[in-house]
């Protein structure tokens, strides 16, 4: 008898426990409805949403935290991450992605109920704008939003002003859109907590206001590649007093029209570790005065310019990767590499080289992993013996030089 009561109590207890563990876990109704709003929107654009968002079912028992593309905080049950990237599930590698003329205009207020949202990825959706983007209030209700990825859409500059109210943002990706005109500093500079900013692949031009950007004290990564930016010499921006940004580690300025004047950024961002200046209009020798400020440089990419002369390589004690292909350097640039203990990757194809291969210097780079000196005018015998000592070497490209013929039996590897 007592045993039966005990068993009943135990069962009841277990049931209560089960309810506590699972019952509260369902997502919030308001948030579930907000997500279903989005699903309905996608459907209203003629897409098969029951296939594209098949787990998003309109059933009050369905826990939206378990839906695809949705992440919740397991303690609070609030939606914190939405990966609505490529909702149409196109093959984004294929050209047809860019052919689709079905451009979306979405209501940002759809996300208004997701007050705990931290990360929203809306990339690759061909969104042309927010139809309620004059409603600044709506945006600023997302007080927790830290990551916003809007890349590969059709946003023009009208996206910028509303974004400036999202002051909690840490990562803002606006790459591959159709913004144009000058660098939108007035709006972006309000986002004080920004650590990652990408404006890659738009149609922006003029000179980026680097000095004003230095007001973004937390910036760690800045990508302005693939625009039409220019620099003037001397760099106008630097006449007045400026402050340094000591956190910027990654700076991608590639694929623009920068000339040598751009290097004066080094005074503002001396902490840069990865610098990409490839595919610009740099020419002649680069100024040591600026470059040597980048004491922590680890990766330097300057392929596709018109540079000659030398680089202060021995100042970059941490340099690991150097890409100086498609310039007009001669082999003297390689002579100081042996002063760099951690050097790993050298890309030196397609330069203005004649004469012998600096095997003595290169054979001292004990950590070298990859070496490309193809399409130059190196002559003499193939430098296999010297290279054999480089135990870490994984990639070697010596093609298209003027090395003499070597008989294979001369190679005792
Ligand atoms: C979930 O929310 C709680 C309360 O706001 C917070 O303390 C915790 O860090 C959050 N967990 C995650 C993984 O973000
Ligand atoms: C969305 O992005 C995440 C990475 O953030 C990726 O794992 C996922 O495959 C993407 N989804 C689609 C449909 O492309
Ligand atoms: C957003 O999704 C894209 C496409 O899948 C992915 O490449 C990107 O890394 C995601 N963004 C973030 C911030 O995770
Ligand atoms: C920018 O896009 C919005 C739609 O979001 C449109 O109303 C506006 O005319 C566009 N502006 C320009 C300059 O193209
Ligand atoms: C949003 O920003 C605009 C101008 O950038 C400002 O006028 C407005 O007061 C802001 N709204 C909120 C709610 O902060
Ligand atoms: C910016 O970051 C700081 C430190 O993490 C935080 O205290 C502050 O609330 C953030 N500002 C906004 C507007 O989210
Ligand atoms: C630059 O600003 C700093 C403080 O921000 C100040 O101490 C310094 O005197 C200023 N230098 C010049 C040349 O104005
Ligand atoms: C270089 O890195 C070290 C730590 O690795 C750091 O203490 C130093 O401040 C950095 N230098 C610059 C100029 O940022
Ligand atoms: C380097 O290039 C500049 C112009 O681009 C040219 O005037 C100069 O003579 C070149 N120097 C050498 C050593 O080739
Ligand atoms: C290689 O370039 C350096 C620096 O511009 C120059 O001093 C040297 O004369 C050049 N050597 C040859 C063989 O052209
Ligand atoms: C290599 O090229 C240099 C410069 O063109 C030339 O002076 C030298 O004779 C060449 N050496 C050989 C072995 O062909």
- Nearest protein Cα to ligand 11, atom 13: 380
Establish whether the linkage from the previous residue to 45 is cis, with ω within 30° of 0.
Answer: no
102 lines ligand 7 (CB under 6 A): no
What number of CA atoms fall less than 13 Å from residue 20's CA on the CB side? Answer: 6
* Ligand 11 atom 4, closest CA: 355
Contacts of 179 (CB under 8 A, 6+ apart): 155, 156, 157, 159, 160, 199, 202, 203, 204
Atom of ligand 2 nearest to the CA of 85: 1
- Mutational test site, ligand 9, from 283, 284, 305, 310, max ligand atoms within 8 Å of CB: 284
Does 330 sit in the ligand 11 pocket, CB within 6 Å? no
- Residue ranges in the chain whose pLDDT is less than 70: 1-25, 95, 133-139, 232-243, 405-413
- CA of 359: how far to CAs of 210, 340, 389, 404, in Å? 41, 16, 11, 15
Q: Give the span between the Cα atoms of 127 and 122, in whole angstroms.
A: 8
Tell me the CA–centroid distance for residue 143 and ligand 9, in Å.
54
Cβ atoms 365, 389 nearer than 8 A? no
**Domains in the chain, ordered, with CATH?**
308-413 (3.80.10.10)
Rounded Cα–Cα distance for residues 184 and 206 (Å): 11
The 3-class secondary structure across the chain, one letter per residue, is CHHHHHHHHHHHHHHHHHHHHHHHHCCCHHHHHHHHHHHHHHHHCCCCHHHHCCCCCCCCCCCHHHCCCEEECCCCCCEEEEECCCCCCCCCCCCHHHHCCCCEEECHHHHCCCCCCCEEECCCCCEEEECCCCCHHHHHCCCCCCEEECCCCCCCHHHHHHHCCCCCCCEEECCCCCCEEECCHHHHCCCCCCCEEECCCCEEEECCCHHHHCCCCCCCEEECCCCEEECCCCCHHHCCCCCCCCCCCEEECCCCECCHHHHHHHHCCCCCCEEECCCCCCEECCCHHHHCCCCCCCEEECCCCEECCCCCHHHCCCCCEEECCCCCCCHHHHCCHHHCCCCCEEECCCCCCCEECCHHHHCCCCCCCEEECCCCCEEECCCHHHHHCCCCCCEEECCCCEECCCCHHHCCC
Which is it for strands 79-83 and 70-72: parallel, antiparallel or unpaired? Answer: antiparallel
- For the segment 248-288, what is each residue's pLDDT rounded down to a tens digit? 999 999 999 999 999 988 988 999 999 999 999 999 999 89
Question: pTM for the whole thing?
Answer: 0.89
**Ligand 11 contacts CB of residue 354 (under 6 A):** yes
Are 373 and 350 within 8 A, CB to CB?
no
Atom 4 of ligand 7, nearest CA residue: 243
Nearest CA to ligand 7 atom 6: 241
Measuring from atom 6 of ligand 10, which residue has the nearest CA? 309
CB 147 within 8 A of CB 123: no
What distance in angstroms lies between residue 114's CA and the mean position of ligand 5's atoms?
20
Q: Does residue 126 contact residue 100 with C-beta atoms inside 8 Å?
A: yes
pLDDT tens digits for 282-317?
999 998 989 999 999 999 999 999 999 999 999 999
Q: How far is the CA of 147 from the centre of ligand 2 (A)?
A: 15
Give the pLDDT of residue 412: 41
> Does residue 147's CB lie within 6 angstroms of at least one atom of ligand 3?
yes
pLDDT at residue 134, as a whole number: 56
**pLDDT at res. 20:** 43
- Cβ atoms of 298 and 321 closer than 8 Å: yes
Phi–psi pair at 120, nearest 5 degrees: -130, 120
Which ligand 10 atom minimizes the distance to the CA of 310? 4
Yes or no: say if 357 and 373 are a contact pair by the CB < 8 Å rule: yes
- Dist CA 223 CA 173 (whole Å): 9
CB 395 within 8 A of CB 369: yes
pLDDT of residue 404: 77
């Amino acid at each position: 008898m007592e045993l039966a009561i005990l068993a009943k109590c135990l069962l009841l207890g277990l049931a209560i426990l089960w309810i506590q563990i699972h019952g509260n876990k369902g997502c919030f109704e308001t948030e579930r409805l907000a997500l279903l709003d989005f699903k309905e929107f996608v459907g209203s654009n003629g897409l098969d949403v029951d296939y594209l968002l098949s787990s998003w079912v309109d059933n009050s028992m369905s826990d939206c935290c378990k839906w695809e593309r949705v992440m919740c905080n397991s303690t609070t049950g609030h939606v914190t991450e939405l990966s609505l990237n490529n909702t149409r599930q196109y093959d984004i590698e294929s050209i047809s992605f860019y052919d689709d003329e079905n451009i979306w205009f979405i209501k940002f207020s759809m996300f208004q109920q997701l007050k705990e949202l931290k990360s929203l990825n809306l990339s690759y959706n061909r969104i042309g704008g927010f139809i309620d983007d004059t409603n600044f209030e709506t945006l600023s209700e997302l007080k927790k939003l830290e990551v916003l990825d809007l890349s590969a859409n059709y946003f023009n500059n009208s996206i910028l002003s509303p974004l400036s109210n999202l002051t909690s943002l840490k990562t803002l990706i606006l790459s591959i859109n159709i913004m144009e005109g000058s660098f939108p500093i007035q709006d972006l500079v309000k986002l004080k907590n920004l650590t990652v900013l990408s404006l890659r692949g738009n149609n922006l031009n003029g000179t980026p206001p680097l000095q004003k950007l230095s007001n973004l004290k937390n910036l760690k990564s800045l990508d302005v590649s693939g625009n039409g930016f220019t620099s003037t010499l001397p760099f106008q921006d630097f006449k007045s007093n400026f402050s340094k940004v000591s956190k910027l580690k990654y700076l991608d300025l590639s694929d623009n029209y920068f000339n040598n004047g751009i290097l004066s950024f080094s005074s503002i961002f001396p902490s840069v570790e990865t610098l990409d200046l490839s595919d610009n209009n740099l020419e002649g020798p680069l100024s040591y005065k600026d470059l040597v400020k980048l004491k922590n440089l680890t990766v330097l990419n300057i392929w596709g310019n018109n540079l000659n002369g030398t680089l202060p390589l021995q100042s970059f004690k941490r340099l690991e990767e150097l890409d100086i292909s498609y310039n007009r350097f001669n082999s003297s640039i390689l002579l100081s590499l042996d002063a760099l203990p951690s050097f790993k990757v050298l890309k030196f194809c397609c330069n203005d080289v004649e004469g012998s291969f600096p095997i003595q210097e290169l054979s001292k780079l004990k950590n070298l992993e990859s070496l490309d000196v193809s399409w130059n005018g190196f002559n003499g015998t193939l430098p296999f013996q010297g290279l054999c000592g480089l135990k870490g070497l994984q990639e070697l490209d010596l093609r298209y030089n003027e090395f003499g013929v070597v008989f294979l039996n001369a190679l005792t590897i």
